[in-house]
Amino acid sequence: MNTIIGQDDRDSTTVDRPAEDLGAKIGQSMAGMKIALPKEYLGEGVDAAVADQIKAAAEQFKAMGATVEEVSLPHTKYAVPAYYIIASSEASSNLQRFDGIRYGFRAKDVKTLDDVYVRSRSEGFGAEVKRRIMLGTFSLSAGFYDAYFKKAGQIRTLITQDFETVFKDYDLIMAPTTPTPAFKIGDKVTDPVVMYMNDILTISVNLAGLPAASVPAGFVDGMPVGMQLIGKHFDEATIYQAAAAFEDANDYLAQIPGGK
């Protein structure tokens, strides 16, 4: 992070800010830090055992001198539909260039220009990519733009404002990373809706453009539980401070998932 921080003249998405050492706060005391715990992140749909691990983590932060209080991020429930409309629309738009002519995979033994386009995209894109392209194309199409993409953008603004309100009074937000413990590789991949819903606790951060990190927060039946720490814009240093302090306070990193 320290290597890539700052403005890159060849990347228009970077920000012109002075470079800083993002690890400068690691090892500093947690005394006086104010941490918010959103009630929506521990409510319906979140495994009770996962919620218990996060509550235990909150107690560990309190023992280190931090204050942890419950807050509300009321528009969290709209995050999944808003995110997947926005992300799919961006995928549809950005992936138009991968047509088998200039960018990306190109099908072999094609006879016509239509074959180049259709076969290259059919063979080159996986099922999830195709699903997002179709959803995004629909969301951006005439007659549906206002009802879907524009509305999703408005929801993103409300979600961002929720975070801004909380960060007026708190240094960090803590929450589960996923609503369930880790599942076995391949268990859920055939059900895209289940996979999408596993993103419900992290995509609000992406919509709001905030920095966050996930650290081990314990185990449920031998499978790991993640805790995300969400910070203010450009305040990764505080995230690292809290994450390092939490990792130093327990031995979760030394434990092997699935073990007894």
pLDDT tens, 1-27?
Answer: 898 888 899 999 888 888 889 999 999
Distance CA 103, CA 194 (A): 32
SS3 assignment, position 178: coil
Q: Which backbone phi and psi does 47 adopt, to 5 degrees?
A: -55, 130
Residue 259 has pLDDT above 60, yes or no: no
Residue 173 · residue 42 · CB < 8 Å: no
pLDDT band at 176 (very low <50, low <70, confident <90, very high): very high
Q: Average pLDDT of the chain?
A: 90
Kindly tell me if the per-residue pLDDT of 146 is higher than 90: no
Judged against a pLDDT cut of 70, whether residue 192 lies above it is answered with no
pLDDT at site 188: 67
Q: What is the pLDDT of residue 210?
A: 96
| Model confidence pLDDT, tens digit, residues 80-132 | 889 989 999 988 888 888 888 887 888 888 889 888 888 888 888 888 888 88
Instruction: Pinpoint the alpha helices (H) of 103-208.
Output: 113-124, 127-140, 151-167, 192-197, 203-208
Which residues, other chains included, contact 117 with Cβ-Cβ below 8 Å and sequence gap of 6+?
99, 100
Beta bridge partners of 218: none
